[in-house]
Amino acid sequence: MAGHHHHHHMDPGAGDARVAWAVVVNLGLTVAQIIGGIVSGSLAMIADAIHNLSDAMSLVIAFFARKIARRPADGSMTFGYGRAEVVAALINYTTLIVIGFYLIYEAVMRFIEPSGVDGWLVVIIAGVALVVDVVTALLTWSLSKDSVNIRAAFLHNVADALGSVAVIFAGTLIILYDWQIIDPLVTLAIAGYILWMSFSEIGGVIRILMLGSPTDLDTGAVLKSVEAIDGVTGIHHVHLWQMQEHRAALDAHLVIDSGRWDDADAIKLAVKEKLKADFEIGHTTLELECSKHACVGAEVIGDGPEPESREHRHGHNHGHAHDHGD
C-alpha cells in the first residue's frame, strides 16, 4: 500500500497479525451474543451481534484487501491492486447500511408485538462484548489512520462498543424497572448510529472509485501553480484523481511557449517537481504541445469534445512524458 512519505511507519505484516486476531476474537463474540440474544429474548443484543458479525466480516475483507493491495502492478492490472482496499471499504459500508435498515424494521415489529427480555443475561453478555470491542478497537486503531479500508473496520468496532454500552443500559433498566420497551428503543438507536456513520463515510470511498480529485487538493490551485512556471503558456485536458487512498495522480496536455521548445524537457521536469513538492502528486503524465500548434478550444478539465487542432496533426510531434516520478 503506497503512500506519502509520512504515512505507514508500521510493518504491513505486523498489521496483518493484529487484523487476524481481531477477526478471531469477533467471530467468537458474535456466536456468544447471538445465542445469548435468542435465550434472553433481547432484540438489542441480537442487533449488537449482527453488527459484530458485520465487524468480523469487515475485518476479514479488510485483511484480504490489505494482502491484495500489496501485489505489484501487472499486465492485467497496470495501476496495481491498491484499490482493493477502497472496494473492500465500499462493500463494508454498503453491508452496514443494509443491516441498519433491517434492524429498524425488526425494532418497529417489536413495538407492535412486544416480548419479554431477561435483563441479567443481557447485561452479562453485553459486558463481555464491550471488553472484546474495546480490545479489537485498540488492535486496529493505529492502522485505521492510514487506510480507508481498516478505518471502515475500525468504525464498525467503535459502533459495536457503543452498541454494547446501550445494551447494558437497556438490560439494567429491564432488571430495575422491567421496562421492556427500552429493548427496541435501544435497537433503533444502534441502527440509527450505524446508518449515520455509514452514510457519512461512504461518500469519500465512492469519490475515489469515481476517479474524483483528492478532497484535500484544490484543482484550481494546482492549475495556477503549473501555469506560473516559466515557459508554460497553458494547461488543458487535465485529469486529477486518486490512484489509491494515499496516491494522487495527474495527466494533462502542457502548452510550451513557442520560443522555448528546446527547453521543453526542462520545463516538463520543473512542472513534475513542483507538483510533487507542493501537492504530493507523485504520478504525473504530461503531453507537451508547442503553443503555435496547441489544441484549439480544448477543455481545461477533462477531455470534452475532440478539439480542433491547428496543424500539429500533420508534421508536429508532441513530446510525450510517461515517466511516473514515483
Cβ neighbours of residue 219 under 8 Å, at least 6 residues apart?
A: 213, 238, 240, 301
Which stretches does DSSP call E strand in 3-93?
none
Distance CA 104, CA 185 (A): 10
Which backbone phi and psi does 265 adopt, to 5 degrees?
-65, -40
Distance CA 280, CA 56 (A): 35
Regions of the chain short of the pLDDT cut 70: 1-14, 304-326
Place of cell 499486465: 75
Cell of 172: 439494567
Instruction: Please give the pLDDT value at position 206.
Output: 92
Which backbone phi and psi does 92 adopt, to 5 degrees?
-60, -45
Backbone Cα Rg of the chain: 26
Cell of 122: 443481557
Query: Which tens digit of pLDDT belongs to each residue from 107-128?
Result: 898 888 877 788 888 888 888 8
CATH class of this structure's domain 12-209: mainly alpha
Distance CA 250, CA 39 (A): 57
3-state secondary structure (DSSP) of residue 298: coil
Taking alpha carbons only, the member of 99, 81, 102 closest to residue 91 is: 99
Residue 105: burial class (beta carbons within 10 Å; 0-12, 13-18, 19+): exposed
Distance CA 42, CA 114 (A): 11
Point out which residues pair with 254 in neighbouring strands: 235, 288
- The structural domains of the chain, with segments of one domain joined by +, span 12-209, 219-321
Point out which residues pair with 238 in neighbouring strands: 301
CATH homologous superfamily of 219-321: Cation efflux protein, cytoplasmic domain (3.30.70.1350)
DSSP H or E segment with residue 295: strand 295-296
Distance CA 154, CA 138 (A): 9
Instruction: Please give the pLDDT value at position 12.
Output: 58
Which backbone phi and psi does 252 adopt, to 5 degrees?
-165, 165
Instruction: Please give the pLDDT value at position 101.
Output: 93
